[in-house]
Amino acid sequence: MLTAITREASATIGNCALTYLPRVKIDTDLVLKQHQEYQAALASLGCELVTVPTEPGLADSVFIEDTAIVLDEIAVLCRPGIESRRPEVKGVEGVLKKYRTTASIQPPGTLDGGDLLRIGKVIYAGLSTRSNQSGIEQLRNIVADYAYFVKTIEVTNCLHLKSAVSQVATGTLLINSNWIDRSAFGGMELIEVHKKEAHAANALLVGQRVIYPSSFPRTMKKLVAHGIETIPVDMSELQKAEGAATCCSLIFTTP
């Protein structure tokens, strides 16, 4: 069984932390609607939904992916690179402890879940404005006991590693190679985003299907042409907060 943990969107999402995008007005009601559609897509793919309530002042809390990486054997609680986001972890920790033993990234380490791309026993870790070397080294030491290999990739042109690359099928990645070095993914099939859709590399693979933002139709056509079944979801308001398809859930197997 798949479990998908999501978190309610905050009424203060308009105060979210931004790094690469200009601040524009976010329609809170539309955020809630789009988030519900996203949750419905997860449920349609067989996920059991667990929703964590938000808390006052946690503007970015809907982007629950940044709080942890959940492996088969353990959940590693992250330490977000933006200080205002660190209180988000506590609310997620209590839920994850029902499913996994947990370990935590400690100061001075910082680590955002959006910088972590797990493919089998390899975890690609983005060294970014949000995740530092200490955080990645701590992760490496924690997961080594479970035979995972952590490979560091420098991220300089976008917010997170998964802003530039994500998995869309077994052995296949969706990538914006203007933002990330293709050579880091040797042996994988790489599908390039459409040249007019720079932000289109983030997709959420659930089983054999992909939840994908409907705002990138050209890249979606490329996925379909590769035989990848997509479920389009409108995430336009969440994208204004530098959110994407993988950001809004933590998905893992349960007995």
Give the catalytic positions in this structure: 160, 247
CB atoms closer than 10 angstroms to residue 72: 11
Task: Compute φ and ψ for 160, nearest 5 degrees.
Answer: -130, 165
Q: Of 213, 193, 209, 204, nearest to 167 (Cα)?
A: 204
Q: Which helix (H) or strand (E) is 96 found in, with range?
A: helix 88-96
Q: Is 29 helix (H, G, I), strand (E, B) or coil?
A: helix
As given in the structure block, the two tokens for residue 154 are 């420098």
Interatomic CA distance for residues 164 and 116, integer angstroms:
12
Task: List Cα–Cα distances, 255 to 3, 42, 48, 192, in angstroms.
Answer: 10, 18, 12, 36
Q: Quote the CA–CA distance of 197 and 156 in Å, as a whole number.
A: 18
- Is the separation of the CB atoms in 175 and 158 below 8 Å? no
Whole-number Å distance between alpha carbons of 149 and 139: 10
CB 91 within 8 A of CB 119: no
